[in-house]
Amino acid sequence: MQLFIDSQWRDGEEKQTLHDCYDGQAYGEIPVASDKQIDAAVAGVRRGFQENKLTPIKRAEILFKAAEILESRRDSLQVQLRHEVGFPDVDSINEINRCARTLALSAEEAKRVLGELVPIQATPGPTPRFGYTVRVPKGVVCAITPFNSPLNTVAHKIAPALAGGNAVIVKPSEVAPGSTLALVQALLDAGLPPALISVVHGPGETVGQQLLEDPRIDYYTFTGSTAVGKKVRDAAGIRGTQLELGSIASTIICADADLEKAAKKLISGCFRKAGQVCTSVQRLYVHRDVYQKFKETFLPLVESTPWGSPEKSETVVGPMINLDNAKRVHSWIEEAVNAGASLLCGGRRHHNVVEPTVLEFVPTDARLFSQEVFGPVVSLVEYDDLEAAIDSANATPYGLAVGVFTNSLDLPFHLADRLDFGGIHINETSSSRLDVMPFGGVKDSGYGKEGPHYAIRDMTDEKLITIAY
């Protein structure tokens, strides 16, 4: 694995060893970018942006071709995802499919990066005038990406940036860089001019900070913690930013819900990627009238969900990203039980695998309830009053996504008005997402939108042209 700087693959003086997510064995290493290499990487894409003006159709062709190439390398990508982030087949296949889809959606959008006509004649003026807007690229986009979606989230940042005519510098997660490098190689093999992209590796505290302080970068797109997101915002100043940050995601089961349908969808909504998804269901509010029946439906499904080695084809819940995080989640479970919570299933840790876990009666001040768990754990909350459940779901610093299950026709409109989240999904879990959707939160969950159409709009500037005649 290497850096990609100024159109060339390069090594670095300092190396970082990469360890398999499940068994901890070393499987490779990456170079950590030096200050000079970071400077050269930014200079390279700045120059590349100025010298390489691709037409919209050319951008689309490259992105479509990259999607095809990526899919043709599915087997090697699955192995890479298994090593890096412990994805079992069900997660790695989904990650690859969605990444290819995001590239294709961005290709479609590249052909229609449009402005609009301005109705100038709707206001009085001294002379007749005609007006319209066009969208132009911002310049250099910096993408700082997380470990938990090292292909598709990266694609949601790189592909719209390129579709909008920008150059890109990427700093992938230091624990999951290989998938990003595979995506960049697919883009290069598809015909992307090498000068339009750079990749640098290393810790956020050093490499990321230097990128934030570089005035030659025009826009930052970041996925990660709220604490780091605020640093990105502050460093970027008036330059553009898109921030997808923390979350405590909820799903509400109403008394009239289809419990079997909800329970089946919640297995993925709670436990895919070992719960290391910002929209994973952490709080599950269930109406008292159906609470017991829901438990009788849901718990057997959880207990029969296979967990363990990502090399086993049947595994659904694999390891967490490292042992420290597995220990943290397990300690939060024990803390909640010691404070009065009831453990309904799971709750055990096997090295860095935490069993899919369900609890009830979790105290509201327990970290398992009041902080983002980012693990395969869900807390059941019995409620009588829907408005109280809504208030409880709203009462966090975050507002990324929420799910509701109901067969009512009018209730969804009330919920859409009352729930304070960036995404509200009726008869789906909070973890529901299609890559064509706008995706982003409110409050401490950040601002700006992913989703190719919406991200391109954020990564381009609108320019007004008027003509008097």
Find all residues with CB under 8 Å of 197, minimum gap 6, and list them: 4, 45, 48, 158, 162, 167, 168, 169, 170, 184, 187, 188
* Single-letter code of the amino acid located at 81: L
- CA distance linking residue 459 with residue 41, whole number of Å: 20
Helix spans in 137-254 (H) = 152-163, 178-189, 209-212, 226-236
Domains contained in the chain, CATH given: 3-245+445-468 (3.40.605.10), 249-435 (3.40.309.10)
Find all residues with CB under 8 Å of 154, minimum gap 6, and list them: 99, 143, 145, 170, 172, 179, 180, 183
* Single-letter code of the amino acid located at 3: L
- CA distance linking residue 146 with residue 223, whole number of Å: 6
Q: What is the pLDDT of residue 271?
A: 98
β-strands 401-405, 249-253 pairing? parallel
- CA distance linking residue 165 with residue 163, whole number of Å: 5
Q: What is the pLDDT of residue 13?
A: 87
**The two structure tokens encoding residue 256:** 């009239």
Q: What is the pLDDT of residue 128?
A: 87
Q: What is the pLDDT of residue 453?
A: 98
Q: What is the dihedral of CA 46, 48, 53, 54, to 10 degrees?
A: -120
Compute how many other C-beta atoms are within 10 angstroms of the C-beta atom of residue 135: 18
* Beta strands across the sheet bearing 423-426: 342-345, 357-360, 377-383, 281-287, 249-253, 401-405, 423-426
Predicted TM-score (pTM) of the model is: 0.96
pLDDT tens, per residue, the chain with 469 residues: 999 999 999 999 899 999 999 999 999 999 999 999 999 999 999 999 999 999 999 999 999 999 999 999 999 999 999 999 999 999 999 999 999 999 999 999 999 999 999 999 888 887 889 999 999 999 999 999 999 999 999 999 999 999 999 999 999 999 999 999 999 999 999 999 999 999 999 999 999 999 999 999 999 999 999 999 999 999 999 999 999 999 999 999 999 999 999 999 999 999 999 999 999 999 999 999 999 999 999 999 999 999 999 999 999 999 999 999 999 999 999 999 999 999 999 999 999 999 999 999 999 999 999 999 999 999 999 999 999 999 999 999 999 999 999 999 999 999 999 999 999 999 999 999 999 999 999 999 999 999 999 999 999 999 999 999 8
β-strands 460-468, 129-137 pairing? antiparallel
- CA distance linking residue 68 with residue 100, whole number of Å: 7
Active site residues: 244, 278
CA atoms within 13 A on the CB side of 467: 5
Q: What is the pLDDT of residue 40?
A: 98
Q: What is the pLDDT of residue 126?
A: 76
**The two structure tokens encoding residue 90:** 């069900």
**The two structure tokens encoding residue 51:** 């010298």
The DSSP line for 138-149 is -SEEEEE--SSS
pLDDT digits (tens, 9 = 90+) for 273-326: 999 999 999 999 999 999 999 999 999 999 999 999 999 999 999 999 999 999
282: helix, coil or strand? strand
